[in-house]
Amino acid sequence: MQNQDILIHINGEPFVCSAFMKLIDILSYLDFNVKLVTIEYNKEVISNSVLSEVFLHHNDEIEIVTIVGGG
């Protein structure tokens, strides 16, 4: 099988990845704890329960919002 790369955007920055990656894969690769982030995928907030079902496509837009505790 031939490797096919696609261009996506993560928090507004271009990012090249494999066309065979799922959203959960890219979050894991970038070392995000999925329990501590909110994901906007192509301008729609999605549940963390579907991250392993979403395949990435060319020009997808992903916004990752990290939850930070403080006081």
- How many C-beta atoms lie closer than 10 Å to residue 71's C-beta? 2
* Domain span at 19: 5-66
Q: What is the per-residue pLDDT across 6-37, written as a single tens digit (0 to 9) for each?
A: 999 999 999 999 999 999 999 999 999 999 99
CA torsion, ordered 42, 44, 50, 56, to nearest 10 deg: 0
Task: Judge whether 41 lies within some domain.
Answer: yes
Task: Judge whether 22 lies within some domain.
Answer: yes
Task: Judge whether 30 lies within some domain.
Answer: yes
Q: What is the pTM of this model?
A: 0.85
DSSP category for residue 59: T
Task: Judge whether 71 lies within some domain.
Answer: no
Contact indicator for 66, 10 with CB cutoff of 8 Å: no
Task: Judge whether 29 lies within some domain.
Answer: yes
Task: Judge whether 28 lies within some domain.
Answer: yes
Q: Domain count of the chain?
A: 1
Q: Check which CATH number belongs to the domain holding 34 and give it.
A: 3.10.20.30
